[in-house]
Structure formats: C-alpha cells, structure tokens
Amino acid sequence: MTKVSLSLNGKPVSGKVEGRTLLADFLREGQGLTGTHIGCDTSQCGACLVHVNGDLVKSCTMFALEAEGCEVTTIEGVAAGDGTLSGIQDAFREHHGLQCGFCTPGMVMSTAELLKINPKPSEADIRDHLEGNICRCTGYHNIIKAIMAASGQDVSGIAAE
C-alpha cells in the first residue's frame, strides 16, 4: 500500500491505496464520496467523470496514485457549502434533466467543463461534448434543454418531453 495525498473538493485528504486502486474507488470507498458513480467500468459511460486539475477525466480510467498532488473536484464539490445548487444543477432540476439520476453526476461534471470552454454552446456543440456521457433512461432531450438554460439561452420554445 502506498500513501496518496491530494486536494479533494478544496480540502487536503490522504489515504493508503494499492497500485491498482482506481481514482473512482478511492473517492467512493476511501473517502465515502459516493456521488461519483461507476456505471460501465469500461471507460464508456461517463458516470464516473470528475475534474482533475480542472480537466474532465474518467475516474474509473485513472489510478488514485496518478492523482497524487492534484486538485480533484467531484459532484459533492459542485454545490455551495450551504447546499445551494450550482447554476448547472439548478437548471437540471428545473428542466427535469434527470430521470433515474445515475448518469447525472457525470452529466453535471461534463457540462461544467463544456461551459468553461464554450459559454453559449449550440445544441450540436452539446451533443458532441456529451458523446462520452450515456443516459440509459435516454433522457437526453431535457439534459440538452437544461444545459441550454444553464448557459443563459432561451429554452421557452423547446417542448418538454
């Protein structure tokens, strides 16, 4: 076992891990932050997305030891300390951008990166960016609507589905 130390949602944390311990498992089992979901465990579904040093990464496809010294942000670090939802989370709630909710943490983390790079994405930009986020409720319509709304775009003409 090797010690790993990193900044997790702004707080320093450390723990003992094996070489093979995935970042996702360190977050969920080592740190008790179960908002990061493991969907496919084969790098395809995006439920485990977190930010490492500001970049969107699949925490099931990165070892915990690779995050040594990094700043890691998970879905638990997105809302304000008093529980006030972020603009993206609020838009997902307002526009029913989630059904079972399993893919939602990854969708929110992915959206945060998109809006950082592209503050007013078109529908095509959003669909392209979400290529690695799979929603098996197939709730994409309202997810895209929520992201349009979160980026300050008018969605009043888009039908709810």
Partner 1 sequence: MYNFEIEKPTTIDGAVAALASDEAQALAGGQTLIPTLKARLAAPEKLISLAGITALQGISTDKSGRVCIGAGVTHTGVTNEAAAYPALAALAGQIGDVAVRNRGTIGGSVANNDPSACYPAAVLASGAVVVTNTREIAADDFFDGMFTTALDEGEIVTQLRFPVPKQAAYVKFKQPASRFALVGVFVARFADGVRVAVTGASEEGVFRWSEAEKALSGDFSAKAIAGLSASADGLIGDAHGSPDYRAHLIGVLTARAVQAAG
d(CA 32, CA 12): 15
> How many residues belong to the chain?
161
Residues that bind partner 1 (CB under 8 A): 2, 18-20, 22, 41-44, 46, 49, 55-58, 61-63, 65-66, 68, 110, 113-114, 129, 131-132
Shortest spacing between CB 49 and partner 1, in angstroms: 6
Of 54 and 152, the one with the shorter C-beta distance to partner 1 is 54
DSSP letters of 120-155? S--HHHHHHHGGG---TT--HHHHHHHHHHHTT---
Shortest spacing between CB 133 and partner 1, in angstroms: 8
Q: Report the phi/psi class of residue 152: left, alpha or beta, with left for phi > 0 and alpha for psi in -120 to 50.
A: left
Of 19 and 83, the one with the shorter C-beta distance to partner 1 is 19
Shortest spacing between CB 148 and partner 1, in angstroms: 18
Question: Collapsing DSSP states into helix, strand and coil, what is residue 79?
Answer: coil
Shortest spacing between CB 42 and partner 1, in angstroms: 6
Of 43 and 93, the one with the shorter C-beta distance to partner 1 is 43
